[in-house]
Amino acid sequence: MDKITVYEKPTCTTCRKVAKAFSEQGIDFEKVNYYIEPFTKTLLKSLLKKMGMKPSELLRKNDEAFKKLKAKIEKLNEDEILKLMIENPDLIQRPIVEKGNKAILARPPEMIKDFLHKK
């Protein structure tokens, strides 16, 4: 079985719900706090590809960090947005759950149910 990795911010309510759901189901997973172990450009690009998303689609648009940088972000291309997200992890939607060659943005947390059963 493919290893499951949850990229999270431990204080995030949604991240805690996902971790709790895995634990309650006895599913082994690894948690990565991307504030302590920051995303590399290669890793974030790989996760986006696995999710079928562009960097701009993974932005936390309701977050204060986004609101402060909105005017700047609107002028950036996708690669520049990716770089900005790596520099400012508050801009990244969470949690991201990775399993093998697939990944999802687990918002709402219930999305993990279908994801876990996909081959």
Average pLDDT over residues 98-110: 94
What is the CATH number for 14? 3.40.30.10
Distance CA(63)–CA(93), nearest Å, equals: 9
Q: How many domains does the chain have?
A: 1
Q: What is the pLDDT of residue 86?
A: 97
Mean pLDDT in the chain? 94
Q: Amino acid letter at 71?
A: A
Contact 88, 30 (CB under 8 A): no
Question: Using 50, 70 and 90 to split pLDDT, how confident is the model at 96?
Answer: very high
Share of the chain above pLDDT 70, in %: 97
Structural domain for 104, as ranges: 4-116
Give the number of residues written for the chain.
Answer: 119
Burial of 107 from C-beta contacts in 10 A (0-12 / 13-18 / 19+): middle
Q: What is the pTM of this model?
A: 0.93
Question: Using 50, 70 and 90 to split pLDDT, how confident is the model at 1?
Answer: low
Q: Which residues are catalytically annotated? A: 12
Distance CA(106)–CA(29), nearest Å, equals: 14
